[in-house]
Chains A and B, each alone.
Chain A
């Protein structure tokens, strides 16, 4: 802590439901070291300046996906964004866009959790293998088809980057559709039919306008825009009844 020589102004969007009608910015002066993340700045505020500030965080290393905030208007993880990159200017921290604000930087994610369950995020084999049949085998090439989509940490930066989700909250959205594709693209899974209703719906892949900002802000390289737009092709083939001939091993219900 010896090199806490610089002080940055952090403007935090506050909203305390029991007393505020609408959110407002509150400015804090935070002394920081070179290696301090925005999350550490928020922790300093909570520990030393104002204990009423509410925000989510956990792992501090871009794995848990809890600390997504709007940082100077861009959806970022607080733990992998550094204060030194904003100094000597002030930095604005707000709750993720397109979600209702519960309190300060905490947003309501009930809607996403429901959608995540709705895509059946688990492997659906046509016939479950018995123990005698042994494990599912997969080549590295088959794994490459879904591996990047499996890196999602549910941080919801992509939803905060998606105006379509803000304008049409019914939209299944980037992360849920990317995870849907993660299972559909897995050679061990034959669950297209079980998930097709979500894909083909108007609020499924067709709500996406390929703005592409979701893939830009993703901290894990998942590229949800790619997952969604590949499935516009699949959805079209499904509509014309062609897809079932292209699926490698038939489909499972």
Chain B
């Protein structure tokens, strides 16, 4: 008979063992805030289709202090989401070489971060100009 008696360790609480895993869990959980925000925006489009009064009611609901607090938190969480999204994005791409040198992952991420920032600014200025 084999003397082997392998001991298998439990995975309970695995994500609390390492700060790296905790950041991963926050990254994944941040998608929930993104989804809720998207649903609120979609609701606005739906209310707009129902006419001016319905749209005004939706706008009024957004001025509720609870809605403002949610949007404040969602802004921070979604900013973190965008940061992590571009940080891991280069891992999904083939190796890119320019002039015989590999483009570093950080350069690819930086382009993404800059694009996100620029797009956000454009949308902000447009919406400010319209209202």
Contact = CB atoms under 8 A, between A and B. Distances in A.
Q: Do A and B bind each other?
A: yes
Contact of B92 (A15, A74, A145, A233): A233
Interface stretch (B16-24, B37-45, B48-56): B16-24
B91 A225 contact: yes
Given A15-B7, A141-B97, A141-B100, 10 more contacts: A17-B6, A97-B9, A101-B8, A102-B6, A163-B21, A209-B24, A210-B92, A212-B88, A230-B91, A230-B94
Interface in A147-173: 163, 166-167
A18 B3 contact: yes
A213 B88 contact: no
Q: What 9 pairs across the A-B complex have the smallest Cβ distances? A: A100-B6, A17-B5, A101-B7, A229-B92, A229-B91, A226-B91, A211-B24, A163-B14, A100-B8
Given A17-B5, A100-B8, A144 B97 contact: yes
B3 A17 contact: yes
Contacts of A15: 7
A125 interface: no
Given A100-B8, A101-B7, A144 B91 contact: no
Interface string A167-185: 1000000000000000000
A230 B5 CA distance: 39
A73 B14 CA distance: 11
A166 B21 CA distance: 13
Interface of A: 15, 17-18, 22-23, 73-74, 97, 100-102, 108, 141, 144-145, 163, 166-167, 209-213, 215-216, 223, 225-226, 229-230, 232-233
Nearest to A18: B3
B15 interface: yes
Contacts of A17: 3-7
A169 to B, nearest CB: 9
